[in-house]
Amino acid sequence: MATFFTSDTHFGDPRILRIDRRPFPDLPTHDRALVEAWNAVVGPDDAVWHLGDFALGPPPERIGELLGSLNGRKHLIVGNNDGPATLAATGWASVAHYAEIAVEDRRLVLCHYAFRTWNGLGRGAINLHGHSHGRLKPIPRQYDVGVDAQGLQPVTLERILISRRRGGGGGKSGKGSVKPVEKRPEPSA
């Protein structure tokens, strides 16, 4: 089981194509492409932490359908564009505004928003966030996991850390630094 992170999918949000200039002709194509990119890397038994702005605009039943179509056990860290229908949708393993977790022996502080300082910063804790759509200048141990900064797909902590070492990592310099739709390995027979 792997753990993935993502943010700012904005399913059903008509503003997203214009504001972030995502490369899709229309919203249905956008939503299908993000579902395909998600499922290409996330397996059914993986955990996914979505750090906010999952969907804005679709009716509650569509939000439930979207959640059901996405692989993995999904946790939501609430973003500023997550309305009551997103929060109440069945399919979330948990819903919170903030979380501190450990992955690969690293302490992570998860929130939709980037912090200037965070719990454990002086002891090596890492802040993962969304909201900024790849527009913030990276600072040490802070990473934008939003789809605009991470090749339109969820990413593992290992991949996030490698991308920063290569000069990317979820800021202006990291936009598009992760190749989109990298396939997950097929299970061994």
pLDDT > 90 in the chain, percent: 72
> What average pLDDT does this structure show over 118-135?
92
Whole-model pTM: value is 0.88
SS3 156: strand
Residue with tokens 């997950």: 184
Q: Which domains does the chain have, with CATH numbers?
A: 3-174 (3.60.21.10)
> Which residues are CB-contacts of 173 (< 8 A; sequence separation ≥ 6)?
137, 138, 167
Q: Tens digit of pLDDT for each residue in 136-148? A: 888 899 999 999 9
What does the pLDDT average to over 40-66? Answer: 96
| Distance of alpha carbon 106 from alpha carbon 83, whole angstroms | 31
What is the band of 176 on the pLDDT scale with cuts at 50, 70, 90?
very low
